[in-house]
Amino acid sequence: VGLIAGGYLVRRRDLIGGTLAAGAALATHAAAGAGNAPVREAGTTRAWVIGTPPGIDSLRLVTRPLREPGPGEALIEVHASSINARDRGIVARQFPVAGPKRADVPLSEGAGRVVAVGAGVTRIRVGDRVASCHFPTWVDGRWDPSVYAADVGNTIDGWLAERIVLPESGLVRLPDEVSYESAATLASSGVTAWHALNVVARVRPGDTVLTLGTGGVSTIGLQLARLAGARVVVTSSSDAKLEKMRELGAMLGVNYRTTPLWGPAIHERTGGVDVVLENVGRATLDQSMEASGNDATIVMIGTGPLPPQLPKMPGLVVKNLGLKAISNGSRRMFEDLLAAIAANGLRPLVERTFEFAQAPDAFREMERSDHVGKVLIRHR
């Protein structure tokens, strides 16, 4: 009951409705010479590959053969890419969720122009400006962890190359209003924030949203929450970063270094927030619950460090809180996000831009965590 589409095994019944349903994606990356079909080369590409021993210093710029797009795939000329917290773990080969194959080329976020398509490709045409979901086989519907088998920049090769072959199923066409640079920041942090705010928490005008930190997820989270008519509260280790978040529309900023018990402080100032983008994880969960109002929704996004002691979870029952973890989002969510960004002229905050040849410096910038928003890499 399965068929191969571009090297990705998809259950046949899930194709009948015209889309690959979530959970349908029994994706096996049989491409890049590992599959049965003969592989034809489309020349070469320059790409940054992870070396041994792994880590930022192991990244090497190489020229490697590039195969032609197979059935259900597209060849894309990359214009821009950007880095997420997880990419540092992937480059160090320490990211916890790996599939049957590990990517040689990192980065799950990027955008570019389609220059060739394989057999059977119908949704995308040569010349289209596109980005890709980082789970290309999660098109819509419910989550299924099998989508990790095709995870761009983790279990299949990612965007840190001049050209890349990707499955058509994950590609989204960019609206004219959205630049390559903006689009290249969205597949991970943008889609995750959209999923948290608009699918899980269903944020309403007048709600108060708390978002932790000033990185990629938090800044686009702030922008999208404002778009939905919400007030936004931000925490950060830096007053200067909080000032930038205020310029971006935050109502209140709290420094978690100088106010370690920021949860009660935020509760007092706001009467309790309605939604928390928990971008850190277990270490901050107690304070997030303290900041929450009755019936608030806390969306678990961060995969950060363990706390010195387990969360006490004081308010979970008393406040009737909702606690929901998410892993990125579907193609449907990415398409909705792009439509909202185009309609409102929203520009994701890119604070630092590096040239393709300086890609390791962009990773070091992420490591220093001096940035607010996104760190971008320009490819052309």
Ligand X SMILES: NC(=O)c1ccc[n+]([C@@H]2O[C@H](COP(=O)([O-])OP(=O)(O)OC[C@H]3O[C@@H](n4cnc5c(N)ncnc54)[C@H](OP(=O)(O)O)[C@@H]3O)[C@@H](O)[C@H]2O)c1
256 binds ligand X (CB under 6 A): yes
Alpha-helical (H) ranges within 271-307 are: 285-291
Tokens 């010195």 belong to which residue?
308
198 binds ligand X (CB under 6 A): no
236 binds ligand X (CB under 6 A): yes
Residue whose CB is less far from ligand X, 280 or 341: 280
What end-to-end distance do the CA atoms of the chain give, in Å?
43
211 binds ligand X (CB under 6 A): no
| Closest CB 84 distance from ligand X, rounded Å | 4
Residue whose CB is less far from ligand X, 153 or 213: 213
| Closest CB 248 distance from ligand X, rounded Å | 13
Contact 3, 10 (CB under 8 A): yes
86 binds ligand X (CB under 6 A): yes
- Exposure string of 273-293, with b = 16+ CB inside 10 Å and e = fewer, is bbbbbbbbbbebbbbbbbbbb
Q: What is the DSSP letter of 181?
A: H
| Interhelix angle 239-247/216-227, nearest 10 degrees | 30
| Closest CB 13 distance from ligand X, rounded Å | 27
Residue whose CB is less far from ligand X, 19 or 327: 327
Binding mask 30-69 for ligand X (x = CB under 6 A): ----------------------------------------
At position 172, the amino acid (one-letter code) is V
Among 327, 347, 361, 365, binds ligand X (CB under 6 A): 327
133 binds ligand X (CB under 6 A): no
DSSP 102-139: --SS--SEEEEEEEEE-TT--S--TT-EEEE-SSTT--
Site of interaction with ligand X (CB under 6 A): 84-86, 188-189, 192, 212-218, 235-238, 241, 256, 279-280, 284, 301-304, 326-328, 366, 369
